[in-house]
Amino acid sequence: MDLPILNNRPEPGQTADSLLSLPVVQLELESAKPLPMSAKEMADRGWDEADVVFVTGDAYVDHPSMAMAILGRVLEAAGFRVGIISQPDWHSCDDWKRFGKPRLFFAISAGNMDS
């Protein structure tokens, strides 16, 4: 059995990390637009309706440490059109009507404050 850490010990001054010898490749990545939070942002994407509308008590932050961003991006990667309504005004139904009726469902989270 060949174990590199035991059988191929580096000489003093030599690096043991074979990843350092690999060429560095620079990729041109486009930053993804945040998930739409209004009918205008939805229309800018060329959508006439959302498949799923997430409603959350939290502010929407498009970052992989935030639950709505993770859930929304996973659904988006699966091909669903996702809209976000964050911190809706509970005195009015207007925020709930922002995207119209979703094709599939509203997904509701109280957010971190009430969880």
**pLDDT for the residue 27:** 55
pLDDT tens, N- to C-terminus, the chain (115 residues): 555 555 666 666 666 566 666 676 665 655 678 999 999 999 999 999 999 999 998 889 998 888 899 999 999 989 999 999 999 998 999 999 999 999 999 999 887 765 4
pTM flag (> 0.75)? no
Domain ranges of the chain: 33-115
**pLDDT for the residue 5:** 57
Tell me how far apart the alpha carbons of residues 2 and 22 are, in angstroms, rounded to a whole number.
22
Cβ pair 64, 70 in contact under 8 A: yes
**pLDDT for the residue 39:** 94
**pLDDT for the residue 64:** 86
